Chains A and B, each alone.
Chain A
Amino acid sequence: MPTFIKRILGLVVVVVLLVVMNAFMSREGLFGFGLPYYYAEIINLTGISIILASSLNLITGFTGQFSIGHAGFMAVGAYSSVFMTVYFSEGLEQWLTGLLGATLAQSIVFLAVIIFGALIAALAGLVVGIPSLRLRGDYLAIVTLGFAEIIRIIILNIDRVGGATGFRGRVPPWDGRQIIPQYANFIWIGGFAVITIVVVYNIVKSDTGRALISIREDELAAEAMGINTTRYKVMAFVISSAFAGIAGALFGHFRQFLHTNDFQFIRSIEIIIMIVLGGMGSITGAVLGAIVITILPELLRKLPGDLYSYRLVIYSALLIVIMLTRPQGVMGAKEFGLSWLKRPQRRPEGDKPAGEKGVPIAQQPATAVIDQGKEIEQGKEHA
Chain B
Amino acid sequence: MDTFVQQLINGLNVGAIYALIALGYTMVYGILRLINFAHGDVYMVGAFAGYFIALSLGLAAGPSLLSLTFILVASMIIAAIVGMLIERFAYRPVRKYSRMTTLIMAIGVSLLIENLFVARIGAAPRAFPDFLGSQSQPPYHLFGNAAISKAQIIIFLVSIALMLLLQWIVFRTKVGTAMRAVSFNLNSAKLMGINTDAIISLTFAIGSALAAAGGVLTAQYNPNIDPLMGILTGLKAFVAAVLGGIGNIPGAVLGGLLIGAAETFVVGYGYHIGIASTYRDAVAFAILILVLLLRPSGLLGSTVQEKV
Contacts and interface: CB of A to CB of B under 8 A. Distances in A.
A231 to B, nearest CB: 18
Contacts of A319: 104-105, 107-108, 111-112
Interface centre among B35, B286, B292, by most A CB within 10 Å?
A: B292
A198 interface: no
Q: How large is the interface on A (under 10, 10 to 19, 20 to 34, 35 or more residues)?
A: 35 or more
A17 interface: no
Q: Is the interface of A mostly helix, strand, loop or mixed?
A: helix
A64 B279 contact: no
Given A141-B35, A320-B105, A146 B278 contact: no
Interface stretch (B70-78, B92-100, B137-145, B177-185): B92-100
Given A139-B292, A149-B282, A360 B119 contact: no
- Of the listed residues A145, A319, A365, the one surrounded by the most CB atoms of chain B closer than 10 A to its CB is A319
Q: Which of A312, A319, A323 has the most CB of B within 10 A?
A: A323
A324 B93 contact: yes
B276 interface: yes
B107 A269 contact: yes
Contacts of A316: 108-109, 111-112, 115
A276 interface: yes
A282 to B, nearest CB: 14
A315 interface: yes
B99 A138 contact: yes
A220 B306 contact: yes
B192 interface: no
Contact of A143 (B105, B118, B289): B289
A153 B282 contact: yes
B171 interface: no
B111 A361 contact: no
A9 interface: no
A137 interface: yes
A280 interface: yes
Contacts of A143: 288-289, 292
B111 A269 contact: yes
A272 B296 contact: no
Given A138-B103, A361-B97, A156 B278 contact: yes
Contacts of B281: 149, 153
- A149, A280, A316, A319 — most chain B CB neighbours (10 Å): A316
Contacts of A220: 306, 308
B55 to A, nearest CB: 22
Interface string B161-183: 00000000000000000000000
B90 interface: yes
A220 B305 CA distance: 13
Interface residues of B, number: 44
B107 A272 contact: yes
A382 B154 CA distance: 51
B115 A313 contact: yes
B238 A142 contact: yes
A368 to B, nearest CB: 15
A309 interface: yes
B288 A146 contact: yes
B145 to A, nearest CB: 30
A272 B111 contact: no
Interface string A279-318: 0100000000000000000000000000001101101110
Interface string A323-366: 11001000000000000000000000000000000001101110
Nearest to B276: A157
Contacts of B109: 316, 320
14 contacts: A131-B289, A138-B33, A138-B103, A141-B35, A143-B289, A147-B285, A280-B100, A319-B105, A323-B94, A323-B108, A327-B94, A327-B98, A363-B98, A364-B100
Interface of A: 60, 64, 66, 68, 131-132, 135, 137-139, 141-143, 145-147, 149-150, 153, 156-157, 220, 265, 269, 272, 276, 280, 309-310, 312-313, 315-317, 319-320, 323-324, 327, 360-361, 363-365
Sort A-B residue pairs by CB-CB distance and give the 7 closest, nearest first: A146-B285, A319-B108, A316-B111, A316-B112, A312-B115, A320-B108, A323-B105
Given A131-B293, A147-B289, 20 more contacts: A64-B100, A66-B100, A68-B107, A131-B292, A132-B292, A138-B34, A139-B292, A142-B235, A156-B278, A157-B278, A220-B306, A310-B115, A313-B112, A320-B105, A323-B97, A324-B90, A324-B105, A327-B94, A364-B98, A365-B97
